[in-house]
A = this chain, B = another copy of it.
C-alpha cells in the first residue's frame, strides 16, 4: 500500500502555468457542521468535559502515576455516561453506536492512552459481551461494565499467534460432569500477550480460545473469564505479568496472562454464534467453521473503524499545531532577519497541505463507512469489512507519516513533549499494528476484492463482464484525455474519478490474471507461493480501492454542500486527488492513462492547490474545533512562547 507521504516530490511544471486561483472563503461553521455530522451534540459534550482542568495534560510522570491518572480519567468518562452510549436501552444505555464512535473519535484529541483504555473497556471488552453474547450476558454484565465498575479486557492475541488469530492455542475444554469450561494455556509461548487492562486494573476478560467438547475442536470462541479478585489479586490458576515499558501508550497497563486449568461455568461462553448444551453437544447457527470464525471476527469491525478515526484525530491535532506554528514562526527573510512565515515556503506547504486535504477526505470517507456499518445488511458485510480493513490501514499509515512530518515542520519545538506532537508520534506508532496489523489487513481487503471480482465474473458471464471493463478502459484511455493538461480538465471531478476507477479495475484485472496463472502452475513451489507472488499487487490494489472510495465519498459531499462551502471542499478534493495521482505517477504513465504533459500538469496542480489552500489552511483546521485546552501546545498560540522570559 503506497500511503500519503508528505515529503515534497519533485515537479516539472507545465511551461505556461495559468495564474493561481483566488483562495475560497472558508465557512468554518459549515465545515465543522459537516465534519461533526449528526452526532455533533455528543462531540460537544466530550469537548467540554475534556477541557475541564481535571483533564489537563501532564508530561514526565512515572509510568505508575500515569496509569493511575488514566484510570481516574476513564472513570470520570464512565461517570459522565460515555461508557453506556452503545449499550442497549434495556441495560441502561442509549443504544447509539454512532454516538459511541463519535465520542471515541473526539476523545482522541486528548491523551491517546486514555483513548485506548476507554476503547479497551467500552469498545473491545464491552463490545465483545454485547456482540458475541446473548441476553443473559447482557443483563448480567453490561450495566456494571458500562458504568466502569467492572473493568475488563479483550484477550485475543497470544505471543505465538498475533496476526493469525484463527490458530491461537488457548483451549477451552468442556467438562460435562461439572458443566464447566477449563481454560488452559497449553505451553509457555501460547499465553495472552499485550492485553490492555491486564497488568493492573482488569477483573474480567473476554478470552478467545479453541472450544473443545467431546474431544472435537470447534474453533475459536469467546469466554468470560474472571482473572482478578475484587481485591485485585489474580484468581487461582491465573498468572499475570506486566508487558513492560513501551514506545508510547504507557498510561495503558498492558499485560500477559497464563491460564492453568481455570474453570468457568458453562454460561460464560459468549454463545451467540456457537453454544454447548449441558451434555456437551455443540450447536451453531452457522454451519461452516470458517464462516463462523469470520462472522465472529466480523462483528468486531467497529473496533477497526474507531482506531482509524482516532488515528485521524491525532493527525488533526498534529497538523493543526504545525499549521498554526507555520503561520506564526518566521525564519530567514529576503533582506536578513527572520521575516518569512514558514508556511510561505513551498516545501513547507507541500509537507503539510496535501496532508490537510487528505485528512478531510478521510474524515468524510470514514463517516460514510460508519453510516454503512450502522445500516449494514448481512450480504453487504464483506464490502464493509474490507473497506474498514483498508481504511484502517490507509488512515493509520497516513496519520503516522503526517504526524512525523508535522513534528519535523516544527523543528526543535516539535521534539518537546509540551508541544504534544512528539507524544502523539510515540503513541500513534502502534496504530499500524494493533486491531489488525496493516499489512495483513490490506491483504484481507484485496482478497475480498478478488473474491468479489470472481463472483461478478461468474454472475455476469465472461463476455458481458469483459465488455463492461473494456468500455470503462476506453473512457479512461481516451488519448485526448490522457494528454489534456488544462486546469479545467484536471479539476473536473468526472475525469478525476474515472482515472481512479480505471486504475483500480486494471490492477484488479491483472492481479486476478496473475493469481490464476500462479495457481495453474500447480501445488509445487510456485503454487504454494501463489498468493505471496502477488502480495505487492494486492497492496497496490488496496491503495487504489481506498483512494477511489474516499474520493467518491468526498465528491458526494462536494455535490451535497451549500454553495458557500462548496469551493473549499472542491479545493481540498483537487489537492487530495492531485497528490494521490502524483504519488503513483509511475503507474499511471506506464498504464498509458496519463501521458507526460498531463503528468507534469498534475505535479504542477499540487503546487497550485497548495498555494490556494495556504491562506485559508488555519481556518480549515479551525473546523476541527479542538478546544484550546486540548490542543495545549504553546507553539500553537499567540504570542509564540519566549520560554518564560
Please give the residue numbers on chain A whose beta carbons come within 8 Å of chain B beta carbons, in ascending order: 1-3, 5, 7-12, 59-60, 62-63, 157, 159-164, 166-167, 187-189, 191, 193-194, 241, 243-248, 256, 258, 331-332, 334, 336-338, 344-348, 350-351, 397, 400, 404, 407-408, 411-412, 414-418, 422-423, 425-426, 429-430, 432-434, 437-439, 507, 510, 528, 532-533, 535-537, 539-540, 543, 582, 584-590, 592, 596, 599-600, 607, 640, 642-645
Contacts and interface: CB of A to CB of B under 8 A. Distances in A.
A288 to B, nearest CB: 15
A254 to B, nearest CB: 9
A280 B8 CA distance: 48
Given A2-B10, A191-B645, 5 more contacts: A10-B540, A161-B338, A244-B417, A346-B536, A412-B433
Contacts of A416: 243-247
A584 B645 CA distance: 47
Contacts of A432: 408
Contacts of A193: 412, 643
Pairs A-B, 6 closest by C-beta atoms: A10-B540, A585-B586, A188-B645, A247-B422, A188-B642, A589-B589
A585 B415 CA distance: 34
14 contacts: A1-B7, A2-B10, A8-B535, A163-B332, A167-B336, A189-B643, A191-B645, A243-B416, A246-B422, A350-B536, A404-B404, A408-B433, A412-B434, A422-B429
A507 B643 contact: no
A104 to B, nearest CB: 21
**A346, A437, A607, A640 — most chain B CB neighbours (10 Å):** A346
Given A404-B429, A642-B188, A643-B241, A163 B411 contact: yes
Given A414-B433, A536-B347, A331 B10 contact: no
Contacts of A256: 643
**A422, A439, A540 — most chain B CB neighbours (10 Å):** A439
A507 B256 CA distance: 55
Contacts of A543: 10
Given A247-B415, A346-B533, A536-B346, A12 B331 contact: no
A351 to B, nearest CB: 8
Contacts of A426: 247, 425-426
Nearest to A414: B433
B10 A415 contact: no
A596 B596 CA distance: 13
B422 A347 contact: no
B9 A2 contact: yes
A400 B404 contact: yes
Contacts of A425: 247, 426, 429
Contact of A346 (B397, B528, B532, B599): B532
A408 B11 CA distance: 31
A348 B438 CA distance: 12
A415 B430 contact: yes
A147 B548 CA distance: 62
Contact of A189 (B162, B532, B642): B642
Given A243-B416, A539-B347, A585-B586, A2 B11 contact: no
A607 B642 CA distance: 52
Contact of A245 (B60, B245, B351, B407): B60
A592 B243 CA distance: 54
Contact of A423 (B247, B437, B643): B247
A182 to B, nearest CB: 19
**A535, A586, A589 — most chain B CB neighbours (10 Å):** A586
A643 to B, nearest CB: 6
A439 B347 contact: yes
Contacts of A408: 429, 432-433, 437-439
Nearest to A503: B10
Contacts of A243: 416
Contacts of A346: 532-533, 535-536
Nearest to A185: B645
Contacts of A644: 241
Contacts of A532: 344-346
A138 B644 CA distance: 36
A336 B210 CA distance: 14
A414 to B, nearest CB: 7
A145 B45 CA distance: 58
Given A7-B3, A643-B191, A338 B159 contact: no
Nearest to A596: B590
Contacts of A347: 439, 535-536, 539
Contacts of A438: 408
Contacts of A336: 166-167
